[in-house]
């Protein structure tokens, strides 16, 4: 008799591209409470797991606690929850309307890295033949799946955006859990035709969920989720207006974790609460400063994700090199929110909201002038083809406009793929160059 863990392992390893050929074990059925115990056991072994939702962690800021709550990870382990595995492109308003708890493995891996706990799952993945050159998110999530630490999903939705390795991971999970799934084909560009196409795919997704689980998507629930999502976007709009007017940006580290978390909860009150708090924190800092700040230091966009296990690079850039650093997600959010909020059709709204992040590589160019940006720092996930393939295109485009770019290779989840000493020389030289350029 195979244990739940053995069944999962066999099924995962049988998936092409992720391991050894395996057998045809039956799908695992497990109590989520057991899976949560498994999860806490693995994470607890690291000794650094932090549950920000607990009251004793009052040192964590309100925003951090809210992010953890907005992630909804603990809710996903309740046996009566309806759980959907989602990627960063999740059509989260539908997820909320259908009363699912979204479980975003990518965001989970950020939290695990931040808590110093990702290594435990990366090791499990490696011992199960997932080599180090595979995306660390994939390794982290599949490592957790192999140990039966993920809540059994009721449905899985994913996209080939931002990359196909994530989609492959979800295919493997769908097989392992024998779970119904839907591939949301998301266009890589914006525009009305793309929105109409995506809206149609979203309707198909709803039909697929209804059909697979025997539930009904009540239009009122979708309308309510869309309204909640619009409310979140209104706070993003206020945040951006404030940021532009006062030339200040939220902390890159917080904003990146925050935004990626909220985007998989759009349509839920948790996301609105999180973005509102983010806005209020920025408002506080503006009111404390008292006036619009003149630009005093070279200002750069941090483009890409960041090492979640420490904030060493960005802190060094700000405190050691005297640079102002802003997140690339902020420019991505500046795209015509007013037009988006005016959209009446719920599916077209959801599609257009989702397409905010299509062509994210282009959005940075729109804010170079309004924010007085002097350069871009691109953090490339080691070996990530999506990151590396656009590097030279961005560099060339920046060079044409007299702008400079520094690219740093590292790993945002796996701390073994990062060395500060290797990064420091590049950042020092970049900062020197920016300061010398601004002196002339």
Partner 1 sequence: MITIGIDSGSLATKGVVLGDDKKILGSAIDLTGGRSRKSGERVYHQVLDRAGLSEQDVAFVVTTGYGRDNLPFSGKNVTEITCHAAGVHFLFPDVATILDIGGQDSKVIRIGNGGRVENFIMNDKCAAGTGRFLEVIAKALEVRLEDLGAISQQTDKNVEISSMCTVFAETEVVSLVAEDTPVPEIVRGVHNVIVERGEILLGKIGLVEPVAMSGGVALNIGVVKALEKRLGLELRIAENPQLTGALGAAVIARNLMEKR
Nearer to partner 1, 291 or 400 (CB): 400
Return the number of the residue (336 or 436) whose C-beta is nearest partner 1.
436
Nearer to partner 1, 168 or 378 (CB): 378
Beta bridge partners of 377: 302, 406
Encoded tokens for 57: 């962690």
**Vertex 223: Cα angle to 77 and 166 (nearest 5):** 45
In whole angstroms, how close is the CB of 322 to partner 1 at the nearest point?
14
- Nearest approach in angstroms of CB 384 to partner 1 is 13
Buried-exposed string 250-282: b where 16+ CB fall within 10 A, e elsewhere: bbbbbbbbbbbbbbbbbbbebbbbbbbbbbebb
Give which of 383, 380, 377 is closest to 428, Cα–Cα: 377
**In terms of CB distance, is 254 or 397 closer to partner 1?**
397
Q: Name which of 58 and 438 has its Cβ closer to partner 1.
A: 438
Q: Using CB under 8 A as the criterion, which residues of the chain lie in contact with partner 1 when the complex forms? A: 382, 392, 395, 399, 404, 409, 421-422, 425-426, 428-429, 432-433, 436-437, 440
Q: How far apart are CA 397 and CA 388, in angstroms?
A: 15
Mutual orientation of helices 269-289 and 219-246 as an angle, nearest 10°?
Answer: 10
Residue with tokens 């974790």, as numbered in its chain: 257
* Measured distance CA(110)–CA(414) in Å, rounded: 10
Closer Cβ to partner 1, 64 or 374, answer by number:
374
Give the contacts of 63 (CB within 8 A, at least 6 positions apart).
254, 258, 274, 277, 278, 281
Using alpha carbons, select from 159, 189, 137, 145 the residue that is nearest to residue 88. 159
The minimum distance between CB 303 and partner 1, in angstroms, equals 16
Nearer to partner 1, 241 or 436 (CB): 436
Contact by Cβ (8 Å): 79, 374: no
CB 88 within 8 A of CB 200: no
- C-beta closer to partner 1: residue 1 or 440: 440
Nearer to partner 1 by Cβ, of 26 and 436: the residue is: 436
């Amino acid at each position: 008799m195979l244990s739940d863990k053995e069944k999962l392992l066999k099924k995962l390893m049988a998936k092409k591209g992720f391991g050894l050929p395996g057998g045809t074990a039956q799908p695992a059925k497990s109590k989520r409470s057991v899976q949560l115990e498994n999860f806490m056991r693995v994470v607890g072994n690291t000794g650094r797991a932090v549950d920000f939702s607990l009251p004793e962690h009052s040192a964590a800021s309100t925003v951090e606690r809210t992010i953890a709550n907005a992630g909804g990870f603990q809710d996903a382990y309740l046996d009566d929850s309806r759980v959907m595995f989602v990627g960063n492109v999740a059509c989260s308003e539908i997820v909320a309307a259908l009363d699912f708890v979204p479980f975003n493995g990518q965001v989970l891996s950020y939290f695990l890295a931040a808590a110093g706990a990702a290594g435990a799952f990366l090791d499990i993945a490696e011992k199960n033949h997932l080599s180090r050159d595979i995306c660390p998110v994939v390794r982290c999530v599949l490592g957790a799946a192999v140990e039966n630490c993920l809540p059994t999903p009721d449905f899985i939705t994913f996209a080939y955006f931002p990359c196909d390795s994530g989609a492959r991971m979800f295919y493997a999970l769908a097989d392992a859990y024998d779970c119904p799934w839907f591939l949301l084909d998301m266009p890589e560009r914006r525009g009305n035709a793309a929105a109409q196409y995506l809206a149609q795919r979203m309707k198909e997704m709803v039909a697929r969920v209804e059909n697979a689980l025997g539930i009904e998507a009540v239009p009122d629930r979708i309308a309510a989720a869309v309204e909640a999502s619009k409310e979140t976007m209104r706070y993003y709009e206020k945040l951006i207006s404030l940021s532009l007017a006062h030339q200040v940006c939220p902390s890159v580290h917080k904003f990146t974790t925050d935004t990626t978390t909220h985007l998989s909860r759009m349509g839920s009150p948790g996301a609105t609460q999180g973005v509102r708090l983010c806005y209020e924190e920025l408002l506080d800092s503006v009111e404390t400063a008292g006036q619009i700040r003149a630009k005093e230091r070279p200002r750069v966009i941090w483009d890409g994700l960041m090492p979640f296990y420490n904030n060493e690079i960005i802190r060094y850039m700000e405190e050691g090199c005297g640079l102002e650093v802003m997140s690339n997600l902020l420019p991505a959010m500046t795209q015509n929110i007013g037009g988006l909020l005016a959209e009446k059709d719920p599916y077209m709204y959801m599609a257009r909201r989702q397409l905010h992040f299509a062509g994210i590589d282009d959005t940075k160019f729109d804010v170079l002038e309004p924010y007085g940006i002097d350069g871009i720092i691109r953090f490339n996930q080691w070996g990530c083809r999506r990151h590396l393939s656009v590097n030279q295109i961005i560099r060339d485009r920046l060079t044409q406009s007299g702008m400079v770019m520094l690219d740093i290779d590292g790993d945002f989840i796996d701390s073994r793929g990062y060395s500060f000493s290797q990064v420091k020389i590049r950042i020092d030289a970049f900062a020197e160059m920016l300061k010398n350029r601004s002196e002339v």
